[in-house]
Amino acid sequence: MTGVRPAAIVVAHHERPEAAVLAREAADWLGAHGWHVWMPADDAVACGLPALDGPRPEVPALALSLGGDGTVLRTVALAAPTGTPVLAVNVGLLGYLAEVEPAGMLDALHRVLAGDVSIEERMLLAVEVDGAEHHALNEVVIEKRESGHTVRLALRIDGEPFTTYAADGLIVATPTGSTAYSLSARGPIVSPRHRALLVTPVSPHMLFDRTLVLDPAEDVEVQLVGHRPADVAVDGVRVATMGEGDVVRCREAVRRARFVRVGRERFHAVLKAKFGLNDR
């Protein structure tokens, strides 16, 4: 429709001054190029941009993430329902999910406006718990609440019982989440271009301690066995507490997370830098 301004969402880390500076710079630049810019209320206040906390655009054309991987997860939660692509700017530590460094932000925005970018889609996880559905880019974690105790978690795959874990918890991750909590629990590193469900126990008190790599079409159910409660967190946000008999269901989501790419795939380069790997 002619005369409708394109809209951008800007999400910024609340505790990093550089993120606030970049948010103001991006808002000014986008506004000067005819874009409407919106920020979530908390972000707008933290960045000193309360004027950007207005009516949220229905279908934003771009979501700009200014922070680390946690900020990217928040941005994806806002952007994925409308299929809005995310441009992630790394502010702080080296992030797996960031596309550009702060010095390259305006050049990346210019390329977005010129259409000189590509879009990479990544799998999301649909998580059903306590009557609600959530979406995760990284993982869902079912973990004990009580220190010093394990929880018992019965795993079913496509409705068939597999085993019952005695562990501190269980992670169901996407390939993108393979470098998050799953990695610290000795799970495999999987290319984010892949589609799979990774089921990894956390500190299991049993001989079977391997990650299961499942087809994305397989349905995963985790049921709490026994009276000890467990918390359920989706991409680091606690969404429910499980009691005896409660079930978490996980499957591949219909929607995708979409990321703006302005150059070559960075995953392997970031992986090398994270682990200090050298060419031979």
Per-residue pLDDT tens for 109-159? 999 999 999 999 999 999 999 999 999 999 999 999 988 889 999 999 999
The size of the chain, in residues, is 280
Q: Using the predicted structure, report yes or no on whether residue 227 has a pLDDT greater than 70.
A: yes
Q: Which residues pair with 163 in a beta bridge?
A: 155
- What single letter denotes the amino acid at residue 216? P
Taking residues 245-254, what's their average pLDDT? 98
Residue-averaged pLDDT of the chain = 93
Q: What is the pLDDT of residue 94?
A: 66
Task: Give me the pLDDT at residue 279, please.
Answer: 74
Point out the residues that are catalytic. 69
Percentage with pLDDT > 90 across the chain: 85
Q: Report which of residues 66 and 278 the model is more confident about.
A: 66
Q: In the chain, which residues fall in CATH 3.40.50.10330? A: 7-117+262-275
CATH class assigned to 124-253: mainly beta
Q: Which residues neighbour 168 within 8 Å (Cβ) at sequence distance 6 or greater?
A: 143, 144, 150, 151, 202, 203, 204
Q: Which amino acid is at 270?
A: V
Backbone angles phi, psi at 243, to 5 degrees: -110, 180
In CATH terms, the superfamily for domain 7-117+262-275 is Probable inorganic polyphosphate/atp-NAD kinase; domain 1 (3.40.50.10330)
Global confidence as pTM: 0.92
